[in-house]
Amino acid sequence: MSAHLSIRNLIKRFGGLTATNDFSLEITPGSSVGLIGPNGAGKTTIFSQIMGEVRQDSGQIALDGLELTPLATARRIRAGVSRTYQVPRPFAEMSVAENIRVGLMPDNIWSMIAQGPDPDRELELALSVGFTKDQLEKLPSELSMGDLRKLEMARTMATGPRMMLLDEVFAGLTVGEIAMISGLVQQMRADGMTFLIVSHDLKALEPLIDRAVAINHGTLIADGPYDEVMNDAAVRASYLGT
């Protein structure tokens, strides 16, 4: 279930702006890393490059030794890495169950046609992120922001990842919802899932990670245990503004 992510010398420029500047990172199987930094530091751009939604200018990204760079997003997901988005992206006219169904689909046209959906698995995933059974037929327009994030989690989990990238997974959630998602992440960690988590909610993030990585202007400025990173002078100067 675990995966080993290796990022080496990643560089991405948008015109004159260097969004990712020679960024390297190793995440060992089953560990959980927090990616922190101020707004615009380049955290989401790193996620997008890992998923192939944005192509790096140079550098390598490998999952368990498999070079991801030439692969399209769908192939990377099938290789075992999946992500959530800062702004949830539900299928607006599909119910909660149907949204999860899309994540559960095999990337094979004949299997899509020949095999029916798996309502038990859809229900299991929905319940695991905290939905109730009677919410399965609800449309995204009827859900709160917290529920939309849960739906995003469920659809991401449905793709069967060994590594999950969570982007601002706590934004807009209530205290109860944060506790619920945290519990879910902890449970998946216990099962061996590898995580890379971006969150501005440091209080919620701290108990979920083994180590923190701080970046600013796309450059890695600190990497180590959470307390050490938060006390790092460069991190305090750039991220905390002190």
Partner 1 sequence: MGLRWYHFALWAAFAAGMFLLPEIVPRGTLRTIIFANFLAIFAISWDTLSGRTGYVSFGHPFLIGIGAYTTAILTKRFDVPVEISIPLAVLMTMVGGLIVLLPALRIKGSYFALVTLAMMELMYQLVQVIRPDLTGGTRGMSGLPTLTRGAVNGFYMSTALMLSIAFTTWLLMKTRLGTALSAIGMNEEAVAGSGLSVTRLKLVAFTASAFTAGLGGAVYVHYLGSIAPRALFDINFVFTIIVAALIGGAGTTIGPILGAFFLTFLLEYLRPWLPGAERYLIYGGVALVLYMYQPKGLIYLMGQAVRRVRKGAA
Per-residue binder mask for partner 1 (CB under 8 A), 114-143, x = binder: -xxx--------------------------
| From candidates 4, 43, 83, 150, binder to partner 1 by CB under 8 A | 83
Min separation Cβ 85 and partner 1, Å: 7
Beta bridge partners of 13: 18
Does residue 101 bind partner 1 (CB under 8 A)?
yes
| From candidates 7, 10, 25, 51, binder to partner 1 by CB under 8 A | 51
Does residue 6 bind partner 1 (CB under 8 A)?
no
What DSSP string runs through 174-227? Answer: -HHHHHHHHHHHHHHHHTT-EEEEE-S-HHHHGGG-SEEEEEETTEEEEEE-HH
| From candidates 77, 166, 188, 208, binder to partner 1 by CB under 8 A | 77
Does residue 112 bind partner 1 (CB under 8 A)?
yes
Q: Using the minimum distance from each CB to partner 1, give the nearer residue, 53 or 223.
A: 53
The CA distance from 105 to 118, in Å, is: 9
Min separation Cβ 18 and partner 1, Å: 25
Does residue 85 bind partner 1 (CB under 8 A)?
yes
The CA distance from 42 to 27, in Å, is: 18
Helices (DSSP H) in the chain: which residue ranges?
A: 43-51, 73-79, 96-104, 109-114, 119-128, 145-158, 175-190, 202-205, 226-231, 233-235
Angle CA 173–239–218, to nearest 5: 100
Count of residues engaged in binding partner 1, rule: CB under 8 A: 32
Q: Using the minimum distance from each CB to partner 1, give the nearer residue, 13 or 89.
A: 89
| From candidates 105, 123, 127, 180, binder to partner 1 by CB under 8 A | 105
Min separation Cβ 219 and partner 1, Å: 27
Q: Is 162 strand, coil or helix?
A: coil
| From candidates 74, 179, 233, 240, binder to partner 1 by CB under 8 A | 74
Distance of alpha carbon 200 from the chain centroid: 14
Strand order in the sheet with 5-14: 17-27, 5-14, 58-63, 66-67
Site of interaction with partner 1 (CB under 8 A): 51, 53, 72-75, 77-78, 82-83, 85, 89-94, 98, 101-103, 105, 107, 109, 112-113, 115-117, 155, 158-159
